[in-house]
Amino acid sequence: MAPKNDGSAKKVMNKGAWTEEEDQKLSQYIEIHGAKRWTTVAVKAGLNRCGKSCRLRWLNYLRPNIKRGNISDAEEDLILRLHKLLGNRWSLIAGRLPGRTDNEIKNYWNSHLSKKINHKEKALEVTTSKETMPEKLLDIVQGDIEDAKEIGNSKANFDANGLFDFSAADASHGLEWVDKLLGSYSLESVDNFLELEEDPWITDNR
DNA sequence: AAATTCATCAACCGCCAGTCA
DNA sequence: CTGACTGGCGGTTGATGAATT
């Protein structure tokens, strides 16, 4: 349908795939003025896009030091471990994988890893573990760290084999912090872990 | 070779929380 | 205090190319 042109209609924004020209405009503007106030960026860069769209494009594709594709075994292993810890908190997971974006990890999870997990879980259902763990860690594994803070100590079921799956032991380089965290399961550790280093290209400049 | 199905991933949508006037 | 605005996030969609029939 053609857009209204009675003066009262909002300006119709571009949607869909970005063109090379749009990418250039956005990159050039941010290089000079920085990535702040996305609606302003969109307007001043001469892009007929909404601020949200510009932000997404910059963070996922144009930002420097972005890695694209070829997720290594070590990265995959890390994603799996972090997902066990954090659940679908893609931005947090991405924060621990330099150069990777939440969108890429989310896509990778949905297209690759979730299938692997389902496969594995079905196999594990046959041999459900009855080991115990502190309830706090159980909640963390379920991706509910915030709520876990308010829960007292008690027993709960724990599938330690699933959590500490070191079958790819030699792929754990750089994962010591994960092992340490899982080994100690202190909430302080989780909180410290969640306080990520600032990336100047991501940090909100509001 | 054409039609159909499947897999991937870029981008959008809606919700929510923080900020500011 | 409140409401509008803005950005961040996770869920979802849709376009595209690859694989299969």
Mention every residue, 6+ apart, whose C-beta is less than 8 A from residue A138: A156, A157, A158
Looking at residue A108, its pLDDT comes to: 93
Locate CATH 1.10.10.60 in chain A. Answer: 20-62, 73-194
Report which DSSP code applies to A135.
H
pLDDT at A138 over 70: no
User: Topology of domain A73-194, per CATH?
Assistant: Arc Repressor Mutant, subunit A (1.10.10)
With cut-offs at 50, 70 and 90, classify the pLDDT of residue A134. very low
CA of A87 to C1' of C11 (A): 14
Q: Which nucleotide is nearest to A16 (CA to C1')?
A: B11
pLDDT of residue A176 exceeding 50: yes
Contact yes or no for A124/A159 (Cβ under 8 A): yes
- SS3 category, A171: helix
Query: Does residue A33 lie within 7 Å of nucleic acid chain B, judged by its CB?
Result: no
SS3 assignment, position A205: coil
Residue A175: its pLDDT value, please? 53
Share of chain A above pLDDT 70, in %: 52
Strand C bases near protein CB (under 7 Å) are 5-12, 15
> Do A182 and A126 meet the contact criterion of CB atoms below 8 Å apart?
no
Q: Who has greater pLDDT, A132 or A79?
A: A79
Higher-pLDDT residue of A121 and A38 is A38
CA to C1' distance (Å), from A206 to C2: 21
Residue A121 has pLDDT above 80, yes or no: no
Proximity of residue A17 CB to strand B below 7 A: yes
Q: Which nucleotides of B are covered by protein (CB under 7 A)?
A: 7-14, 19-20
CB A190 within 8 A of CB A140: yes
The mean pLDDT value for A202-206 works out to 42
State the DSSP code for A7: S
Q: What local confidence, expressed as pLDDT, does residue A148 receive?
A: 37
Residue A203 has pLDDT above 90, yes or no: no
Could you tell me the CA-to-CA distances from A184 to A54, A151, A177, A193 in Å, in that order?
A: 41, 17, 10, 13
- Averaged pLDDT score across all residues of chain A: 68
Dihedral over Cα of A80, A85, A86, A92: its sign: negative
**Rg of chain A, C-alpha, whole Å:** 21
Which nucleotide is closest, CA of A91 to its C1'? C9
Task: Assess whether A57 (CB) lies less than 7 A from strand B.
Answer: yes
Tokens of A185: 């399961």
- Tens digits of residue pLDDT in A56-114: 999 999 988 888 888 888 899 999 999 988 889 999 999 989 889 999 999 999 988 87
A14-27 exposure pattern, b = at least 16 Cβ within 10 A, e = fewer: eeeebeeebeebbb
- Comparing every residue's Cα with the C1' atom of nucleotide B9, the nearest one is A107
Q: Which residues from the 96-115 window of protein chain A have CB within 7 angstroms of nucleic acid chain B?
A: 103-104, 106-108, 110-112
Enter the tokens of residue A87.
């659940």
Q: Closest by alpha carbon to A176, among A98, A83, A77, A87?
A: A77
Which CATH fold would you assign to the domain A20-62?
Arc Repressor Mutant, subunit A (1.10.10)
d(CA A34, CA A18): 20
